[in-house]
Amino acid sequence: MTKEKVLEALKNVTYPGFTKDIVTFGFVKDIEISDNRVALSVEITSSAPEVKEQLNKDIEVELQKIGASEVIATIMQPKAPREMSNSMSGKNLVPHVKNFVMVSSGKGGVGKSTTSVNLAIAMAMQGKKVGLLDADIYGPNIPRMMGLIDQRPEIQGNKVLPLKAYGVEVMSMGSLMEPGQSLIWRGSMIMKAIEQFLRDILWSELDVLVIDMPPGTGDAQLTLAQSVPVTAGVTVTTPQEVSLDDSRRSLDMFQKLHIPIAGVVENMSGFICPSCETESDIFGMGTSEAVAKEFDSTLIVRVPIEPAIRIGGDTGMPIVYHKPDSETAKRYQEAANKLIAFIDKVNEEGGADNSGIQPTTPPGVSACSTGAAPQQNSGGCGTGGCGCH
Ligand X SMILES: Nc1ncnc2c1ncn2[C@@H]1O[C@H](COP(=O)(O)OP(=O)(O)OP(=O)(O)O)[C@@H](O)[C@H]1O
Binding residues for Mg ion, rule: CB under 5 A, are: 112-113, 141
> Is 208 within 8 Å of 131 (Cβ atoms)?
yes
Binding at 303: pick from Mg ion, ligand X, none (beta carbon under 5-8 Å per type): ligand X
Give the binding range for ligand X (CB under 6 A) out of 27-35, 50-58, 76-84, 112-120. Answer: 112-120
Q: Which amino acid is at 105?
A: S
Between 354 and 370, CB nearer to ligand X:
370
Out of ligand X, Mg ion, none, what residue 90 binds, judged by CB under 5 to 8 A for its kind, is: none
Among 134, 219, 266, 306, binds ligand X (CB under 6 A): 306
Q: Does 110 bind ligand X (CB under 6 A)?
A: yes
Distances (CA, A) of 272 to 303, 313, 329, 332: 11, 19, 15, 17
Query: What is the C-alpha separation between 198 and 214, in angstroms, rounded?
Result: 16
Cβ proximity to ligand X: between 1 and 317 the closer is 317
Phi, psi of 38 (to 5 degrees): -120, 125
- Within 256-295, which residues bind ligand X (CB under 6 A)? 267-268
Distances (CA, A) of 282 to 106, 152, 240, 267, 305: 20, 39, 9, 11, 9
Can residue 383 be called a binding residue for ligand X (CB under 6 A)? Answer: yes
- Identify the three-state secondary structure at position 122: helix
Of 51 and 133, which has the nearer Cβ to ligand X? Answer: 133
310 binds, among Mg ion, ligand X, none (CB under 5 to 8 A by kind): ligand X
**Interaxial angle between packed helices 307-315 and 112-125, expressed in degrees from 0 to 180 and rounded to the nearest 10:** 80
For residue 235, CA distances in Å to 80, 116, 147, 253, 355 come to 30, 11, 24, 10, 22
The helix (run of H) or strand (run of E) holding residue 56 is helix 49-65
Partner from ligand X, Mg ion, none contacting 248, C-beta within 5 to 8 A by type: none
For the sheet with 28-34, list strands across it.
Answer: 28-34, 37-43, 70-76
- Using the rule CB under 6 A, which residue among 313, 316, 318, 374 binds ligand X? 313
Q: Under the criterion CB under 6 A, does residue 246 sit at the interface with ligand X? A: no
Shortest Å distance, C-beta 161 to Mg ion: 23
Cβ proximity to ligand X: between 230 and 346 the closer is 230
Tell me, rounded to whole angstroms, the distance of Cα 351 from its chain centroid.
16
Residue 68 binding: pick among Mg ion, ligand X, none (C-beta 5-8 Å cut-off by kind): none
Nearer to Mg ion, 63 or 117 (CB): 117
Site string for ligand X, 114-133 (x = CB under 6 A): x-------------------
Give the helix/strand (H/E) hosting 384.
none
Kindly state the smallest distance separating residue 308's Cβ from ligand X, in Å.
Answer: 8
Residue 21's DSSP bridge partners are 14
Shortest Å, Cβ 228 to ligand X: 21
Contact set for ligand X, span 181-240 (CB under 6 A): 215
Angle between helix 187-199 and 219-227 (nearest 10): 30
Q: Which is nearer to ligand X, 140 or 153 (CB)?
A: 140
Q: Which is nearer to Mg ion, 221 or 354 (CB)?
A: 221
HSE at residue 257, side-chain half, CA atoms within 13 A, is 31
Which residues ranging from 130 to 189 are in contact with ligand X (CB under 6 A)?
A: 136, 139, 141
Q: Exactly one of 90, 111, 131, 233 binds ligand X (CB under 6 A); which one?
A: 111
Choose which of 248, 310, 330, 338 interacts with ligand X (CB under 6 A): 310
Backbone φ and ψ of 60, nearest 5°: -60, -45
* Nearest residue to 204 (alpha-carbon basis) of 16, 14, 13: 16
- Rounded to an integer, what is the distance from CA 198 to the centroid of its chain? 12
- The least distance separating ligand X from the CB of residue 298, rounded to whole angstroms, comes to 19
In the complex with ligand X, the residue whose CB is nearer, 159 or 310, is 310
**Chain contacts with ligand X (rule: CB under 6 A):** 105, 108-114, 136, 139, 141, 215, 267-268, 303, 305-306, 309-310, 313, 381, 383
